[in-house]
Structure 1
Amino acid sequence: MQPPPESSASDASVDIAQSLAEVESALVALKQRYAQVESDRLRQAELKNRIDEIGPQVAKNKSAQLKVELKELEAQLEAIEVNLESQLFTVDIFKEPFWQAVRFGGLGIVVGWILKSCAN
């Protein structure tokens, strides 16, 4: 028994609306992440410039205050670099290749068994 055409059309429109909402939320998240990356890159450049300015002064003056500031800047720079690097590797990146390897590896084994049974 088939459902009435009206309900399948409304189900399809609900599915499309739901898919669009998911895409929109993913786009918003992507835009936010991009803005954060750009902000981190600007901050990274600022910190590197400041470290380049302070470095020679610390060597000349050996001021405790400059040394503390230099250590803080280096720690902030390291944290930003870790944040930028962590964006490159997410679990989602590895999901599809893993399942493709499982699928085609399993298919290769099955084909191998078939060929071996035909050869005997």
Structure 2
Amino acid sequence: MSSPQSGNTQENELEKILIEVETSLLKLQKRHAQVKQDLKARSHLLERQQELKQQQKDKSIPQPLKTELRSLQQELDGLELTLESVLLPDIFWQVVRFVFLGIAIGWFLHIWAT
């Protein structure tokens, strides 16, 4: 039989775990919102790039448009790098964290219930 104090300790541990899961979920939601925003910006940049390329085909492209085209390409490269380098590792570690926390919560609930 467990003492009342060990029950409080288990409840405190469970609360800590739940707070950590909630914090992780909020971080993941923020990351998801950032990714959606970056994808939207990427889409707009690609559209503008296509417009400039079409103008280039129609006539000789002036220097300011060439500069804008280069600038758009640099922004696109930056967004692609951000989306690839930030999203994939985070997803992996979030999955590992949530699986571990799920196991830990199950283990604590099992101990608490017995």
TM-score (norm 1): 0.69
% identical aligned pairs: 30
CA drift of 1:7 comes to 1.1
Partner deviation per Cα, 1:69-113 (whole Å, 9 max, x = no partner): 0011000011111111111235748x8xxxxxxxxxxxxxxxxxx
Counterpart CA distance in 1 for 2:71 and 2:64 is 11
Match of 2:64 in 1: 65
Aligned length: 92
Match of 2:52 in 1: 54
Match of 2:43 in 1: 45
Match of 2:106 in 1: none
Q: Which amino acid aligns with 1:71?
A: R
Match of 2:103 in 1: none
Counterpart CA distance in 2 for 1:20 and 1:56 is 54
SS in 2 for 1:61: coil
Match of 2:107 in 1: none
- Structure with the bigger RCO (C-alpha within 8 Å, sep 6+) is 2
SS in 1 for 2:88: coil
Counterpart CA distance in 1 for 2:9 and 2:93 is 29
Q: CA RMSD in A?
A: 2.1
Q: Which has the larger radius of gyration?
A: 1
